[in-house]
Amino acid sequence: MSSRLLRADDPAAIEAGARTLRDGGLVAFPTETVYGLGANAFDARAVARVFEVKARPSFDPLIVHLSEGSDLGRVVAGDDARVERLGARFWPGPLTLVLPRRPDLPDIVTAGLDTVGVRVPAHPAARALIRAAGTPVAAPSANPFGYVSPTTAEHVVELLGQAVDLILDGGPCGVGLESTIVSLAAPEPTLLRPGGVSREELEDALGASLVRAAAPAERPLAPGQLERHYATRTPLRILPGPAAPLPAGAGRVGLLAWSAAPRGRGYAAVEILAPDGRPTTAAAGLFAALRRLDAAGLDTIVAEPCPERGLGLAIMDRLRRSSARG
Ligand code: AMP
Ligand code: MG
């Protein structure tokens, strides 16, 4: 099946996307984090196609997207005062909460867990699409499992174009990193994945510290935490500090630099993440820069580290997972 690419700011395109979702089809759509590959969360067959198209293992649960926080009761069971507080501050936005699920949500969405990950995306096209579809939308990132997430519609066309029924093009994603995932399923709020909302902001809103989830290998239930994920095909290594000029004869090495390229260079390709020094700029451009380096015919990519504060925690998390072997 070949897909149609339509502009996300066209109301007719949103209507076509909503119809496709209601009819059991798959729609790739922009969010402020990355592009999502959406299916009606209550249509188990449509959700099964999401897993098939992505070659995603069935033990990896999907995030359910709502157009309003007030729709939470359609997928979540029970009340939690912390949800009110976090939702009021961060929704719509890049925060996913893991909460006890309703039993009528198909098992395939949650990989059989008794919890569900939910969020209200901030992108107007995403919200309009979900609202028009009239159903919660289960959506992982619109890329083959394990690879770098898509932050433009072109990335989606390149990687999944033939397999998706409709792609809504809303331009580049503003945040550029996946949502932060916090589990409220246990008494202690737990950070499952750092992302677009910083740990510091969350702790401030909760008035409590977040427990960091155990090492990925010990928690196979949350595969966004898989050790190797968000990966380039070219081997990637994180440098211990700012890059030095490259000695001659090191092969074709590409550099992912923070705010400036080292003098003298010697690198076959250089991507500067944040010429303005701002972590938001670095986050927004990270995945596109990784793709360009991955397409540059390099032997190795080396990346400068950044301080693990604010968005820097999520950026370093993605770089580490991209650099993990096998
Ligand atoms: P992606 O949509 O590719 O960003 O992946 C979504 C990620 O959300 C999964 O890989 C899990 O790590 C996480 N997730 C979704 N639902 C749950 C849940 N019920 N419990 C724990 N983690 C979840
Ligand atoms: Mg993903």
3-state helix/strand/coil string of the chain: CCCEEEECCCHHHHHHHHHHHHCCCCEEECCCCCCEEEEECCCHHHHHHHHHHHCCCCCCCCEEECCCHHHHHHCECCCCHHHHHHHHHHCCCCEEEEEEECCCCCHHHHCCCCEEEEECCCCHHHHHHHHHHCCCEECCECCCCCECCCCCHHHHHHHHHHHCCEEEECCCCCCCCCCEEEECCCCCCEEEECCCCCHHHHHHHHCCCCEECCCHHHCCCCHHHCCCCCECCCCEEECCCCCCCCCCCCCCEEEEECCCCCCCCCCCEEEECCCCCCHHHHHHHHHHHHHHHHCCCCCEEEECCCCCCCHHHHHHHHHHHHHCCC
- Condensed to tens digits (0 to 9), the pLDDT of residues 123-168 reads 999 999 999 999 999 999 999 999 999 999 999 999 999 899 999 9
CA of 248 to the centre of ligand 2 (A): 37
Reply yes or no on whether the pLDDT at 105 is more than 50. Answer: yes
- 249: pLDDT confidence band, cut at 50, 70 and 90? confident
Cβ of residue 224 lying under 6 Å from some atom of ligand 1 = yes
Q: Of 208, 205, 195, 170, give the one whose Cα is nearest residue 5.
A: 170
Q: What is the pLDDT of residue 58?
A: 87
Q: What is the pLDDT of residues 22-35, one digit of tens each?
A: 999 999 999 999 99
Residue range 11-17: mean pLDDT, rounded: 98
pLDDT at 170: 98
Of residues 196, 205, 204, the one with CA closest to residue 279: 196
Residue 116, ligand 1, Cβ within 6 A: yes
pLDDT for 297 beyond 60: yes
Q: How far is the CA of 62 from the centre of ligand 1 (A)?
A: 5
State the CATH architecture for 5-212: Alpha-Beta Complex (3.90)
- pLDDT score of 224: 57
Q: What is the pLDDT of residue 248?
A: 80
Question: How is the chain split into domains, by residue range?
Answer: 5-212, 236-323
pLDDT at 44 over 70: yes
Average pLDDT over residues 208-215: 84
What is the reported pLDDT for 217?
Answer: 43
Q: How much distance in Å is there from the Cα of 201 to the middle of ligand 1?
A: 21
Query: How many Å separate Cα 24 from the centre of its chain?
Result: 23
Q: pTM of the predicted model, to two decimals?
A: 0.92
Q: Is the pLDDT of residue 83 over 60?
A: yes
Structure confidence by residue, pLDDT tens digits, 217-230:
444 455 556 778 88
- State percent of the chain over pLDDT 70: 95
Report which of residues 226 and 117 the model is more confident about.
117
Q: What is the pLDDT of residue 2?
A: 54
Given this model, what pLDDT does residue 222 score?
Answer: 52
Q: How sure is the predictor about 325, in pLDDT bands with cuts at 50, 70 and 90?
A: confident
pLDDT bracket for residue 116 (50, 70, 90) = very high
CA gap 229, 214 in Å, rounded: 17
The rounded mean pLDDT for the chain is 93
Determine the pLDDT at residue 215.
57
Domain 236-323, CATH 3.40.50.11030 — does that match? yes
pLDDT given at position 84: 94
Pocket test for ligand 1, best of 63, 65, 66, 118 (most atoms within 8 A of CB): 63
CA of 61 to the centre of ligand 2 (A): 10
Q: In this model, does residue 280 exceed pLDDT 80? A: yes
Please state the atom number of ligand 1 nearest to the C-alpha of residue 101: 19
